Amino acid sequence: MNQEDIGAIRLTLELATIVTLLLLLAGTPIAWWLAKSGSRFRNAVGALVALPLVLPPTVLGFYLLLLMGPNGPVGHFTEAMGWGLLPFTFPGLVLASTLYSLPFVVQPIQNSFEAIGRRPMEVAATLGASPFDSFLKIALPLAKPGLVTAAILGFAHTVGEFGVVLMIGGNIPDRTRVISVQIYNHVEALEYAQAHWLAGGMMAFSFIALLILYTFNPAKK
Amino acid sequence: MSILAEFRLDRPNFLLDIAVEMPGKGVTAIFGKSGSGKTTLLRAIAGLEKEVKGRLSVSGKLWQDEKVFLPVHKRPIGYVFQEASLFPHLDVRKNLEFGYRRRGGRISPEQASEMLGIEPLLSRSTEGLSGGERQRVAIARALLAGPELLLMDEPMASLDRDSKREILPWLEKMKRELEIPVLYVSHSPDEAAALADHLVLIEQGKVQASGPVSELMTRLDLPLAHGEDAESVIMAAIESHDIENHLTTVSFPGGRLHLPYHEIVPGKMVRIRILAKDVSLALDPAQRSSILNILPAKVEEIADDGPGGAMVRLSAGDAKLLSRITRKSVHSLSLAPGMKVHAQIKGIALLK
């Protein structure tokens, strides 16, 4: 493994960690709303969140590129705030990855919230707990299996993504070049030995991630 | 000090239209068939049914009207659900402390545990508890939230017969030792007879009748006073014990009754339950009868009850009694309202 490979591994882990934290922060309230709301927009929001499951990453990457570019609304906003443009930067990668992995985090958490049912929250309310208090002390602890699943899936999925990264981030060493892109580079250059190290590592990592998932969170009988 | 509730809910296939005043003390049983709307009424009082419109004031405080809706967590209530609904991620002690920490009250966790006999369970997880134990923990948890009004939704309905027998004495004890008004939803006349002072009958989303339990259970225009299980409840005082014959005598303004010995101090008030089918009528005082309890009574009303049967409401002093006899006997004795009779009582149960 050369210096660039190690840089790619470091960058990937950094990206996945930040994205997982953001996903849990953003995904939990979205999942709660989807699980509990009677709003007529519920299905539309649910479908929107699930879009990355079925879209090719290039489609999502393409539109994100337009939105975040100099002529897009997000681009206007980030320039007005003095942050510059997000495409081909690490923050741009974080934003795109977060959106792309959102369904992998929202759905397990939503399922957990739905499985709790309304009763424990009603009991908490009759015992004097405000809705937010009940959410923190009852709903979140009861949804722990879903939160663990969500974190593992979000992390692993971010580590494994390629298309969106290439569309938004390109291939800039130590800034946007993650493992999957680096593997692509090695294969392009016919450096199969190097490609094996990274690709094999990814295989092992993904297997272990899923093994942890199934061990601590076995499927319901 | 009373609970004034006016609620309305219009759903397809279900109409709730309630206007009722309930006493702000003692146990009020809200009684009705399943689907009658009694649970919805209880949930509306707790604030758990946001769609129910209306007006609710408890002990002079407004909880709900067109403009006001006090959220559930701000209502000083305790709620015991049909299933214990303990928090599975907390042990018994933490379950008990959940409401106590947030609202607290006159009762400490130690007192509540002692009152419901759950001290040995405190450090246990909720998982291994029996149905009766779970419900006792749930009741203690509700009491610890410092309620000014305790709402109980058929707390014994999901329990087997043995667990029910296990719970009832604790409920009676709770009633004696605490002064919290209780609304108790039930479809079991026995539970109502054992616990309630006041009854509210709900039928198809409407209040059919509301009044003292001894009166409503013997009103012949109401379904409770009909059928095999019809019964009357009499409040009486323990008068004396006859240890030799293993008997206890109780007295009430309508007379005296003898029943199997119960170790209760004389002077104490108890509830006596008499099944209508255990009461037969005679025009003359029985000579040399084996029946121990014969009360002079007056016929108040007679109604048909099933094929060939009749239900007779009697008054003895200020107490009401039911007697279920055959229509043939009504005719042969020429029974009519106002007549003096002798009620011969075969079986009496003491409910404490």
List all residues of chain A from 31 to 60 with a beta carbon under 8 Å from chain B: none
Residue tagged 């006073």 (tokens): B225
Mean pLDDT of A31-49: 93
> Do the Cβ atoms of B81 and B71 come closer than 8 Å?
no
Instruction: Compute the distance between CA of residue B85 and CA of residue B128 in angstroms, rounded to an integer.
Output: 14
Q: Taking the mean position of all CA atoms in its chain, how far away is CA A35? A: 19
* B166, B257: one domain: no
The pLDDT profile of chain B, 352 residues, written as one tens digit per residue, is 799 999 999 988 889 999 999 999 999 999 998 889 999 999 999 999 999 999 999 999 999 999 999 999 999 999 999 999 999 999 999 999 999 999 877 888 998 898 888 999 999 999 989 988 999 999 999 999 989 999 999 988 878 888 887 788 888 888 888 889 999 999 888 888 888 999 999 999 999 999 999 899 999 999 889 988 899 999 999 999 999 999 999 999 989 999 999 999 999 989 999 999 999 999 998 788 888 999 999 999 999 998 999 999 999 988 999 999 999 999 999 999 999 999 999 989 988 6
3-state secondary structure of B315: strand
What token pair was written down for A122?
A: 């009603």
Complete DSSP assignment for B285-301: PPSS-S--EEEEEEEEE
**In the prediction, which pLDDT does A219 show?**
54
Is there a domain that residue A198 lies in? no
Q: Which of B227, B228, B229, B341 is nearest to B285 (CA)?
A: B341
From edge to edge, which strands make up the β-sheet containing B340-345? B279-282, B340-345, B293-304, B309-316, B319-326
What token pair was written down for B129?
A: 């508890």
* B165, B239: one domain: no
Q: Which of B344, B239, B79 is nearest to A119 (CA)?
A: B79
Contact flag B103-A125 (C-beta cutoff 8 Å): no
Among B182, B216, B250, the domain boundary falls at: B216
Number of folded domains in chain B?
Answer: 2
Is there a domain that residue A92 lies in? yes
> Do the Cβ atoms of B343 and B337 come closer than 8 Å?
no
Contact flag B72-A126 (C-beta cutoff 8 Å): yes
* B160, B262: one domain: no
Residue tagged 């005719």 (tokens): B331
Is there a domain that residue A100 lies in? yes
**In the prediction, which pLDDT does B175 show?**
83
Contact flag A128-B48 (C-beta cutoff 8 Å): no
> Do the Cβ atoms of B154 and B43 come closer than 8 Å?
no
Instruction: Compute the distance between CA of residue B333 and CA of residue B167 in angstroms, rounded to an integer.
Output: 44
| Torsion of Cα atoms, B97 then B99 then B100 then B104, to 10° | 180
Is there a domain that residue A76 lies in? yes
Is there a domain that residue B39 lies in? yes
| A80: CB partners within 8 A, 6+ apart | none
Contacting residues of B for A141, CB less than 8 Å apart: 89
**In the prediction, which pLDDT does B42 show?**
96
* B31, B61: one domain: yes
* B142, B243: one domain: no
| B239: CB partners within 8 A, 6+ apart | B249, B250, B251, B256, B266
Q: A-B interface: how many C-beta pairs under 8 angstroms?
A: 62
Indicate the helix (H) or strand (E) that contains A78.
Answer: helix A73-80
Is there a domain that residue A112 lies in? yes
Task: Please write the tens of the pLDDT for every residue from A105-147.
Answer: 999 999 999 999 999 999 999 999 999 999 999 999 999 999 9
Distance from CA of B57 to the nearest CA of A (A): 17
Average pLDDT score, chain A:
92
**In the prediction, which pLDDT does A221 show?**
39
User: What is the domain range of residue A61?
Assistant: 3-181
User: What is the domain range of residue B268?
Assistant: 231-350
Residue in chain B closest to A132 (alpha carbons) equals B73
Q: What is the CATH number of the domain that holds B197?
A: 3.40.50.300
Conformation bin of residue B307: beta by default, left when phi > 0, alpha when psi is -120 to 50: beta
pTM of the full structure: 0.86
Distance from CA of A142 to the nearest CA of B (A): 7
Torsion B133-B136-B141-B144 (CA) sign? negative
* B148, B260: one domain: no
* B88, B184: one domain: yes
Among B156, B190, B216, the domain boundary falls at: B216
Q: What is the CATH number of the domain that holds B336?
A: 2.40.50.100
